[in-house]
A and B are shown apart, each in its own frame.
Chain A
Amino acid sequence: MDVERIKFERTGGFAGIRLAADFDVSDLPDDLSQTLRELLDALDFPELPAKLTGGELIPDSFTYSITVEAGKWHHTVITGDAPEDEKMQELLELLNRLARKKIKRH
């Protein structure tokens, strides 16, 4: 899959403060974009259902939305904070980190 853009959103949590970021994958350092592509491939992201189960109704847990775009194609997956798949957990951690980096203070 030749991913071009990723839109990431984290909502909910005790604080209820939204964290969102929109990345052009080509803007990321090579090692990060490589890791990202590998995770998406390992997850077979285009074939994932639109909604993964995993803790959404646990009070104060986070909900994540990940949209992957390639040309005119796009696919969105919504997941809770505790997806069963470890690769998905890794992907969430990576996107969280990238999103926090993007909003860092200058």
Chain B
Amino acid sequence: MHNHRHSLECILPEHMLEQIATKGSDAQKQMAMDNINVVYQLRAERAMRASLADLFAPTMPRAADGGKERIVYDVKRGTSLPGAAVRREGDPASADAAVNEAYDGSGITYDLYKEVYGRNSINNNAMRLDSSVHYRTGYDNAFWDGKQMVYGDGDENLPAEDRLFNRFTIAIDIIGHELTHGVTQFEAKLVYSQQPGALNEHMSDVFGSLVKQYQSRQTAAEADWIIGAGLFTPNVNGVGIRTMKAPGSAYDDPVIGKDPQPAHMKDYVNTASDNGGVHINSGIPNHAFYRAAMEIGGYAWEKAGMVWYATLRDKLGENSNFQQCADLTHQTAGELFGSGSLEQQAVKNGWAGVGITIGGETPEPKGCLEATLRFIGAAPS
């Protein structure tokens, strides 16, 4: 009978669900049970993924010479990964733009991590960089599947006047973004849900943007800080998918709507969709990074990037939230550049600009408690 899900606008804290499940009315109990099941299921999936990552670890393909090795595969619009190898390390350019973009983009991403941060590939152990292009048909997406990058061609199957997305290899920061999901998988292992998930997204946007800046040797002031510039076709009114400089203003379009990213904690979005808004609330730490990098000046990958990289590698854990990320980047900046240094000050100011005080208390996201109280009929009138 009741195997559909009664969803709330937010994921309720477990202790509250348990309370409702034992003391609520029948309907309330059912709602709580549905939600508890989802929570437990998510937890089981996480545990499974963690063990999968461990399982994969020894079998991750390793670069033949222990350094940079790339292979680009063509899935030929199918689903079985990785597909046929079409360009290997050192091969001449292909006639296929997507193949070359995946090859060049993963190469520059490797270079940034190696030359600036001293990291040898995704796992810091010379993991081979595998990319598959032409995944499915009409696939408006790119993702990291735990072992490799996968790119769709956008709306290539629609008439030109209906297309919204170009191929997903078109912007180099998307490639840096996907590879950084791999780095996070091996380091902080941030759970892909709620604030830890938004931090996972944030780290991918930071290093995606830095890969693009590094490629063009742009200073923080020269960079556009746009994620996915060129991904939209001219049919869409927008400059890209996200902007770290002014979250919420990347696009405003009659068909796809408006960029939903907040730039400040007061606009934090409580939602159950998109794993708790991981691609939405990442706007907050993204903007903090932008502000810190602008205050420090020069090439953002050198100092701000180093602070964020060391924090991702050594300090963040799978359940870290925004407040902890702020505190830990501040601590790392002190270790790298000195306590009270201009760099550490800039990190503090960057977070302050989005409503997060170093050493402060994380405010309970608004809305969650209210929604619960309203649901059980106990909301103050």
- Could you tell me which A residues sit within 8 Å of B by CB distance? 9, 11-18, 49-51, 53, 55-63, 67, 74-76, 78, 81, 89, 96-97, 100, 103-105
Contacts of B361 in A (CB 8 A): none
Known contacts A15-B165, A51-B37, A81-B143; can you find 16 more A-B pairs with CB under 8 A?
A11-B273, A16-B260, A17-B257, A49-B3, A50-B34, A57-B46, A57-B275, A58-B145, A58-B192, A60-B144, A63-B273, A96-B138, A100-B138, A100-B158, A100-B162, A103-B255
| Residue of B whose beta carbon sits closest to that of A60 | B143
B168 touches A14 (CB 8 A): yes
- Cβ contacts A to B, 24 pairs, < 8 Å: A12-B273, A12-B278, A13-B140, A13-B143, A13-B279, A14-B141, A14-B168, A14-B177, A14-B178, A14-B241, A15-B140, A16-B260, A16-B274, A16-B278, A17-B256, A18-B273, A18-B274, A50-B34, A57-B275, A58-B143, A62-B141, A74-B4, A97-B138, A105-B162
Q: Does B372 contact A (CB under 8 A)?
A: no
A59 touches B38 (CB 8 A): no
Contact in complex: A58, B144 (CB < 8 Å): yes
Kindly report which residue of chain B lies nearest to residue A76, judged by CB atoms: B4
Q: Across the two chains, which residue of chain B brings its CB closest to A74?
A: B4
Tell me which of A15, A16, A56 has the highest count of chain B C-beta atoms within 10 A of its own C-beta.
A15
B109 located at the interface, meaning its Cβ lies under 8 Å from any Cβ of chain A in the complex? no
CB distance from B296 to the nearest CB of A (A): 28
Residue interface bits B236-264, CB-to-A below 8 A is 1, else 0: 00000100000000000001110010000
Q: B177: nearest residue on chain A (CB-CB)?
A: A14
Q: Which of A61, A67, A78, A104 contacts B162 (CB 8 A)?
A: A104
Quick one: closest A residue to B44, CB to CB? A53
Which residues of B come within 8 Å of A, CB atoms? 3-5, 34, 37-38, 41-42, 45-46, 49, 79, 138, 140-146, 155, 158, 161-162, 165, 168, 174, 177-178, 181, 191-193, 200-201, 204, 228, 231, 235, 241, 255-257, 260, 273-275, 278-280
- Report the Cα distance A71→B143, complex, angstroms: 38
Minimum CB distance partner of B231 in chain A: A15
CB-CB under 8 A from A78, the residues of chain B are 5
What distance in Å separates the Cβ of A27 from its nearest Cβ neighbour in chain B? Answer: 20
Among A9, A13, A76, point to the contact of B5 (Cβ < 8 A): A76
Inter-chain CA distance A105–B235, complex, in Å, is 9
Tell me if B45 and A53 are in contact (CB < 8 A).
yes
Min CB distance B164 to A, Å, is 9
Please determine whether A12 and B275 come into contact, CB atoms closer than 8 angstroms: yes
Contact partners of B200 in chain A: CB under 8 A: 59
B275 contacts A58, C-beta separation under 8 Å: no
Which residues of chain A come closer than 8 Å to B273, judged between CB atoms? 9, 11-12, 18, 63
CB distance from B267 to the nearest CB of A (A): 16
Contact across chains for B5 and A50 when beta carbons are under 8 A apart: yes
Whether the Cβ atoms of B5 and A60 lie closer than 8 Å is no
A44 to chain B, nearest CB (A): 12
Q: How far is the CB of A99 from chain B (nearest CB, A)?
A: 11
Asked if residues A16 and B279 are in contact (CB atoms below 8 Å), the reply is yes
Q: Which of B3, B79, B201, B228 has the most CB of A within 10 A?
A: B3
Complex Cα spacing A62 to B143, Å: 9
Report whether B4 and A59 are in contact in the complex, using a CB–CB cutoff of 8 Å. Answer: no
Among the listed A12, A53, A57, which residue makes an inter-chain contact with B279, where contact means beta carbons less than 8 Å apart?
Answer: A12
Q: Report whether B181 and A15 are in contact in the complex, using a CB–CB cutoff of 8 Å.
A: no
Cβ contacts under 8 Å, B165 to chain A: 15
Chain A residues in 8 Å Cβ range of B231? 15
Tell me which residues across on chain B come within 8 A of A17, comparing CB atoms.
241, 256-257
Q: Are A57 and B280 in contact (CB under 8 A)?
A: no
Determine whether the beta carbon of B5 is less than 8 Å from that of A57. no
Contacts of B174 in A (CB 8 A): 14
Q: Is there contact, CB below 8 Å, between B279 and A51?
A: no
Q: Are A15 and B4 in contact (CB under 8 A)?
A: no
* A62 cross-chain contacts in B, Cβ below 8 A: 141
Q: Roughly how many angstroms separate A96 CA and B46 CA in the complex, as a whole number? A: 27
